[in-house]
Amino acid sequence: MIQTSSTELQCGRFHLSLGQDDRPLIMGVLNVTPDSFSDGGLFDAHDRAIAHAKQMITDGADIIDIGGESTRPGAPAITTEEELRRVLPVLDALRDCGKPLSVDTRHAAVMREVLAAGADMINDISGFRDPDSLAAVSDSQCALCIMHMQGDPQSMQLSPHYDDVLAEVRDYLLDRIDAAMTIGIGRERICIDPGYGFGKTVEHNLTLLSHQSVLQRSLALPLLAGLSRKSTIGVVTGRSVEQRLAGSRAAAVVAAERGARIIRVHDVAESVDALKVWQAARTGALIHHW
């Protein structure tokens, strides 16, 4: 069991403070795909993608997460060439935006190319299970977001099953952390993600969220939570994807309360406002600089 907790994340060109006394950081989602579950096709044109990223930064995003492959349940795989065609021009255009740039990819060949182009974080939904993926990131200074997923996007929601979802997610993440550290990747470069919605039923997701602080303490690494607009919010509220703003903001606050240090969201301005109120109530002081 890990005994010490990381409070700073080495993230490429940046050092991010992620201690319990720091405010949570906001990761803004930039899907440059035609088929993502909630915003597919909205930002797959280059100019719209750049404009949206700049607006998210103005609204208070601390990290921009660029995704070139949809990982919604049942999404078809695409070629490496197509993923790079979507991601690299956006990465190049945002290189000097002043914020860390994350790339959401599970493919080692893509990781190598985007790191060479200046990406600061690799956000891998498959938890760097492919040994080539760990090799691709090992010699850089990028951050790794190691996520839990049962199965793959094509099959993960067909019949997810756990005997003990909290223990199994914890053990999986421990295994992947150990694999990264074995090849020399420092703990200061790693954050973890329970993988809400990836190979999990609504009940699994709610159990993980309810016990998220236990998971974070047992792993003692910064935790990233991505619940924005997901189907669990829809089931709980009865709302369609485009009507899940309020539910997503409530989930962001609950995730922060239960130890998440990075909150991945689609709606940055609203998420910042919600977390400002939560942080002010938590500390008894106004936040003058987000």
Distance, in Å, from the CA atom of 183 to the CA atom of 207, rounded to the nearest integer, reads 33
45-84: pLDDT as tens digits: 788 999 999 999 999 999 999 999 987 777 778 899 999 9
Helix runs in 27-107, H state only: 46-59, 80-94
Q: How does DSSP assign 109-144, residue by residue?
A: HHHHHHHHTT--EEEETTTT-SHHHHHHHHTS--EE
Contact predicate 261/222, CB 8 Å:
yes
Across the range 169-195, mean pLDDT stands at 98
Place of tokens 């208070």: 60
Residue 127 falls in which region: left (phi positive, over 0), alpha (psi -120 to 50) or beta: left
187-242: pLDDT as tens digits: 999 999 999 999 999 999 999 999 999 999 999 999 999 999 999 999 999 999 99
- If one compares 276 and 44, the residue with the highest pLDDT of the two is 276
Residue 160 above 50 pLDDT? yes
Interacting residues of 242 by C-beta distance below 8 A, sequence separation 6+: 38
| pTM recorded for the entire structure | 0.92
Structural domain boundaries in the chain? 9-282
**How far is residue 30 from each of residues 64, 262, 274, measured CA to CA in Å?**
7, 16, 20
Is 230 among the residues known to form the active site?
yes
Across the range 16-30, mean pLDDT stands at 93
Residue 151 falls in which region: left (phi positive, over 0), alpha (psi -120 to 50) or beta: left
3-class secondary-structure state, position 163? coil
**Of 23, 230, 244, 261, catalytic:** 230
Residue 3 above 90 pLDDT? no
For domain 9-282, the CATH class is alpha beta
268-287: pLDDT as tens digits: 999 999 999 999 999 898 87
130-155: pLDDT as tens digits: 989 999 999 999 999 999 999 777 66
**Of 170, 189, 261, 264, catalytic:** 264
Q: What is the mean pLDDT of the chain?
A: 92
The alpha carbon of residue 280 and the mean position of all alpha carbons in its chain are separated, in whole angstroms, by: 24
Distance, in Å, from the CA atom of 198 to the CA atom of 148, rounded to the nearest integer, reads 8
Is 276 among the residues known to form the active site?
no
